[in-house]
Amino acid sequence: MTHILVTHGHSDQVGGAEYLQSIFGSKVIMTKKGLELAIEQSGKSKGKNKFLPPKVEAFATDGSSIVIGGTEFKFYITPGHTQGDLSIDFLVKDNNMNYRAFIVGGHGVNFQKPSLVKAFLSSMARIKKLANESPVVAVNLSNHPHKNNLFANRDKIRQGESANPFISSSNFFQFIELQEDSASKKIKENAPLKKTGNPNTSIELNVKALVD
């Protein structure tokens, strides 16, 4: 295992990186803000969930890339789930055919900071635009298996399904739209309350302030 590419600094993404690095001597690549979050979460971890932050070989920057084993991995910083979300764009092969794969750096809008709400929707819009560039993204490699039906697709292959269920541009874009719809719904549910001009009238939801 020569390299470990970390999508963001939450413990469920980075928690095992230092352990694998200590065994294989792997080079870890993530964003600077991703490492800052990993260090913060490491300091709070304890007991069986205790972990150490990895030693980062190089910080990924927006638009940068690295070649590993003959495959180029392109990096995009797409904040919204955290400030340091790293999305990864690369080619995969099936039956000697190349397909474009994409890993979205973070799923789900984060309401801890208002700026992240707007950033998440902007990032999803950017990812859609990037994904539509030729060749169009056909493989969704989610950083959570339930987000891209990983196990269900695996079972289809084991059952002898001829077409590879992981190869589906429509499924990728449906996934992005689901992220956008979920974020918009949460914005409406959690939008800040704003008083109207008349102090006797009820308060109203100010959704527009978050999405503009």
pLDDT per position as a tens digit, 118-146 = 889 999 999 999 999 999 999 999 877 77
Q: Measured between alpha carbons, how far is 14 from 12 in angstroms, rounded to an integer?
A: 6
Model pLDDT, residue 192: 55
> What is the pTM assigned to this prediction?
0.81
CA distance 133 to 15: 33
Token digits for 137?
Answer: 């993204």
What is the tally of helices (H) and strands (E) in the chain?
Answer: 7, 10
Instruction: Give the separation between CA 121 and CA 184, rounded to whole angstroms.
Output: 8
Domain boundaries of the chain, sorted by first residue: 1-59, 63-211
Answer yes or no: are the C-beta atoms of 62 and 110 closer than 8 Å: no
Distance CA 190, CA 104 (A): 24
**Residue range 192-196: average pLDDT?**
43
Q: How far is CA 104 from CA 78, 126, 128, 144, in A?
A: 8, 11, 11, 10
Q: Which fold has domain 63-211?
A: Metallo-beta-lactamase; Chain A (3.60.15)
Q: Please check whether residue 86 is in contact with residue 60, taking contact to mean a CB–CB distance below 8 angstroms.
A: yes
Cβ atoms 142, 148 nearer than 8 A: yes
More confidently predicted of 102 and 162: 102
Q: How far apart are CA 62 and CA 87, in angstroms?
A: 9
Mean pLDDT of the region 78-92: 93
How many other CB atoms are there within 10 angstroms of residue 16's CB atom? 14
pLDDT at 196: 39
pLDDT class of 103 with cuts at 50, 70, 90: very high
Query: Which residues, other chains included, contact 23 with Cβ-Cβ below 8 Å and sequence gap of 6+?
Result: none
